[in-house]
A and B are shown apart, each in its own frame.
Chain A
Amino acid sequence: MSLRDSRSYKVVFAPDYVINPENYPDIPKTLKIYEEIKNAGYGIVKLPAIDLPKDQISDWIEIAADMIEEYQKRGYAVALITIDCLEDGGIWLSKLRVELESRGLTIPKIVEFSRDELEKDEELSSKIKSIF
């Protein structure tokens, strides 16, 4: 059994779009953000699709907040990725922020991508590399 541990201690919370861009007809269908995260060695916590029925959203926000709280407590680096042309950044950012603030947690670094940036490979790449 392998016991080396190669984790990066760096985690990004990302919109569904980052992994499943084909489900978003009006935005560039690019996996570039995923590719850059992969190359940078960050772990991804992907939130569900943004058009999930409203009654299901609060549980996913609670799950994300629980993970952020645990990672922060243990000294992991955490960031939130948002897309400006998706509702609430694609991660229910306003609701997540309220949940984190209610727990007295620091809001992780928010890295927002505009629609234009999604088509500019070099800018996107350098933005991902410099998250942490």
Chain B
Amino acid sequence: MGGKAVFIAHCILNQNSKALGFASRPGLVEWLIDFLKQNGCVIEQLPCPEMLHLGVNRWWHTKDLYDTPGFRKHCRRLARRVVDLMEYYLRRGLAIVLIGVDGSPSCGVNLTGKNPYWGGEPKASAEQYQVVEGMGVWMEELLKEVERRGIKRFKVIGLAMDLPGFDLKESLKMLEAELGG
């Protein structure tokens, strides 16, 4: 499993970047970092476009609300720096893997969150956040930059660690299978 540079969503190492109400741990997601290190992976932390754009006290957002030219431009600027870093590791012969957080409006890989009615007066409940198939805005822009530079597509994994029913044992099994090759 060694020889891999695994790029992880920012909040996996820093739960203090989460939108308020969603930090499941004091500091970091220890089971995932421990797993990656025990398996010889180099870890790189993505910047958090949500926190850098709207700050740490931001309202909850859906993908609909982040899907704006301004936020996408902000993501593209960050993506250029991250893909520079990916190329740095590729030059050293490491394979790249990307891990996002399923359900997130920006970092979701397989699942993201929508609600076309959110906006205006800030009234919302978590139940109104509709988890739907699709990728978050940040992951979309990051992978566009990867494609634009002609980098061969690598493994992109989404972990639904913030969603109900998350199964740690199954996730570890899936990670072993995905990162083993």
Contacts and interface: CB of A to CB of B under 8 A. Distances in A.
A71 B16 contact: yes
B64 interface: no
A10 B28 CA distance: 11
B42 A6 contact: no
Interface string B1-26: 00000000010011111101111111
Nearest to A55: B84
Contacts of B55: 70, 73-74
Contacts, number: 119
Contacts of B81: 56, 59-60, 63
A7 B40 CA distance: 28
A3 B19 CA distance: 10
A38 B15 contact: no
A1 B127 contact: yes
B69 interface: no
A36 B81 CA distance: 30
Interface stretch (B44-52, B137-145, B147-155, B173-181): B44-52
A20 interface: yes
Interface magnitude class on chain B = 35 or more
Nearest to A8: B26
Given A2-B162, A40-B27, A43-B28, A53 B88 contact: yes
A58 to B, nearest CB: 10
Interface of B: 10, 13-18, 20-28, 30, 33, 37, 40, 42-45, 47, 51-52, 55-57, 78, 81, 84-85, 88, 126-127, 129, 162-164
